[in-house]
Amino acid sequence: MKFFVDTADVAEIRELNALGLLDGVTTNPSLIMKSGRDIMEVTKEICSIVEGPVSAEVTALDYDEMLKEAAVLTKIADNICVKLPLTLDGLKACKALTADGVKTNVTLCFSANQALLAAKAGATFISPFIGRLDDIHINGMDLIGEIRTIYDNYGFQTEILAASIRTVNHVKEAALIGADVATIPPATLKALVKHPLTDKGLEGFLADWAKTGQKIGG
Ligand code: E4P
C-alpha cells in the first residue's frame, strides 16, 4: 500500500519524507488555504521534496477552464497529478488529460457508480472520502470494498486512493480491503507507529541494559 500525506504543510512533508515513508502528497483548496501560502509557490516546493505524485486541485467548474488551470498546474513540475472534481466536466477533463499523458486524481467520490465513471474516464487515482461518509452515518469503508470489487471485475487500472482518513483504524481497514493508496493527515500517519506495549517493552529492555553496564561499540 502506498502512503500519501494529505497536507500542504511543507515542514510536515519534509519530516515524513526524511523518514522514507512518503509515496506522494495530496492537497486541496482547503489545505492550501490552511497553509496560508500561494498555491503555485507551495506546490512547487512540495514537488521538489517528494518524488511521487503531488495532487494539485483545479478550482474551475467547466471543462475548458479546468483544462486551462491544468495546463498551469502541470507546468509546476513533472510529478504534478491534476485533481479534478467528480462532475461531468471533471470526468471529461480527466479523459482529455489522460489522453495527453497527464496523471489525474478524481476527487470527492462518494459512490461506487462515481468511481466506475472515473475509471472509465481513465483516472490515475479515484479518491473515495471515507471520513465524510462516516460523518453522515454511512460506512465509508464499505465504499472502498465496493470499488475494489468493481475495479477487479473489469481489470480497471485506476488506483483506489482512500481519502478523508481520520483514524489509524481507517488506514488498517483500507489496507485490509485492498485500497491501493491511503492519503493520511500527518498526525494520523505518525500515530500508526504507536503501541503502548512497544513503549513498555522498550522501557524494560533499556532498564535491564543499564544494569549490564555494557555499551555497544565500546
Ligand atoms: C483528499 O485528497 C482530500 O484532500 C482529503 O482526504 C479530504 O479529507 P477531509 O474530509 O478530512 O477534509
Kindly state the cell numbers that stand for 59: 478550482
What is the number of domains present in the chain? Answer: 1
2, 83, 172, 190: the active-site residue: 83
Cβ burial of 136 (10 Å; 0-12, 13-18, 19+) is exposed
Phi, psi of 118 (to 5 degrees): -65, -40
Q: 148: CA distance to ligand 1 center in Å? A: 20
**Is 190 in the active site?**
no
Q: Is residue 67 part of a domain?
A: yes
Q: 10: CA distance to ligand 1 center in Å? A: 17
- ipTM for the complex shown: 0.97
Give, for ligand 1, the residue of 25, 28, 59, 136 to mutate: max count of ligand atoms closer than 8 Å to Cβ. 28
- Beta bridge partners of residue 18, listed in sequence order: none
Q: Is residue 47 part of a domain?
A: yes
Numbers of helices and strands, H then E, in the chain: 11, 8
Give the DSSP per-residue string, 45-112: HHHHH-SS-EEEE----SHHHHHHHHHHHHTT-TTEEEEEESSHHHHHHHHHHHHTT-EEEEEEE-SH
User: Quick one: pLDDT at residue 100?
Assistant: 98
Average pLDDT over residues 196-206: 98
- Domain hosting 35: range is 2-212
Q: 26: CA distance to ligand 1 center in Å? A: 8
Q: Is residue 160 part of a domain?
A: yes
Q: Is residue 106 part of a domain?
A: yes
Compute CA distances 24 → 13, 54, 192, whole Å. Answer: 10, 6, 17
User: Quick one: pLDDT at residue 218?
Assistant: 74
Residue found by looking up cell 500519501 in the block: 4
70 in Cβ contact with 88 (< 8 Å): no
> How many Cβ atoms from other residues are within 10 Å of residue 128's Cβ?
30
Give, for ligand 1, the residue of 35, 183, 188 to mutate: max count of ligand atoms closer than 8 Å to Cβ. 183
Of 51, 9, 22, 32, residue with least CA distance to 183: 22
Tell me the pLDDT tens digit for each residue of 125-153. Answer: 999 999 999 999 999 999 999 999 999 99
User: Quick one: pLDDT at residue 143?
Assistant: 98
**What is the number of alpha carbons within 13 Å of residue 160 lying toward its C-beta?**
32
CATH code of residue 190: 3.20.20.70
Quickly state the pLDDT bin for 94 (edges 50, 70, 90).
very high
Q: Is residue 217 part of a domain?
A: no
Q: Is residue 218 part of a domain?
A: no
Find out whether the beta carbon of 7 lies less than 6 Å from any atom of ligand 1. Answer: no
